[in-house]
A and B are shown apart, each in its own frame.
Chain A
């Protein structure tokens, strides 16, 4: 069964510092996708970044980058130059794609609450 593990329930970071949120995953399928979502206190899930299992380069989106280490099954999110508005819950998630499977659901980790200090 697929599984996403986020071992940091909460983190405090000083504004303007970089922060790394950890994520490890487990899957037996060779083709899968990894996501990071941000959930502010308003509750809406905001898509941040995506990494495909066959992508050769680490994904980047503005201040967000995904440190993808396939052999270690690790997909850490790096936020550079953190801002006060980055304070939120962050979820690592995985979608599996297998031939003959209807697996289109996304499996989420338990999340990391990031708090940015001014």
Chain B
């Protein structure tokens, strides 16, 4: 399977605990995105990387959230001191941007998501 993969698929944790999610993008993709989706809503952008550089962070990404993409391949999203409001689906997506493509086109391929439940 050469799609975007995310682990774990489900995570249940107690309030105050730290959790870490992993995303493996499509291998040749140089951009990686994190989104959060709460029940009944569309995904909301959190942050994105181009290669290993984190280029943009949403104001939704509080100080308790940190994302890394150390070698420009897989990425991790860590939430420290989880709160019940962090319960959501966390989606990862990847895309490939090159100078030869139309600048306005950026198809993002999504992974299956990690569903976090904070008790």
Contacts and interface: CB of A to CB of B under 8 A. Distances in A.
A97 B95 CA distance: 15
Given A50-B107, A52-B104, A105-B33, A111 B42 contact: yes
A8 to B, nearest CB: 14
A104 interface: yes
A44 B48 contact: no
Contact of A93 (B33, B42, B48, B55): B42
Nearest to B50: A104
Given A33-B104, A54-B104, A110-B40, A43 B112 contact: yes
Main secondary structure of the interface of B (DSSP, over half): loop
Contacts of B104: 31-33, 52-54, 95, 97
Contact of B58 (A35, A105, A109, A111): A105
Interface residues of B, number: 29
Contacts of B26: none
B42 A91 contact: yes
A104 B48 contact: yes
Given A31-B104, A33-B104, A54-B104, A42 B112 contact: yes
Interface of B: 31, 33, 40-45, 48, 55-56, 58, 89, 91, 93, 97, 102-113, 115
The 10 residue pairs across chains A and B that have the minimum distance between CB atoms: A108-B42, A45-B110, A105-B45, A52-B104, A33-B104, A44-B112, A97-B104, A43-B113, A91-B42, A102-B56
Given A33-B104, A47-B109, 14 more contacts: A31-B104, A35-B107, A42-B112, A43-B89, A43-B115, A44-B111, A47-B110, A91-B42, A104-B56, A104-B106, A105-B45, A106-B108, A108-B42, A111-B41
27 contacts: A33-B105, A37-B110, A42-B112, A43-B89, A44-B113, A45-B43, A45-B93, A45-B110, A46-B110, A47-B107, A47-B109, A52-B102, A53-B104, A54-B104, A91-B43, A93-B42, A95-B106, A97-B104, A103-B56, A104-B55, A104-B97, A105-B45, A108-B43, A110-B40, A110-B41, A110-B42, A111-B42
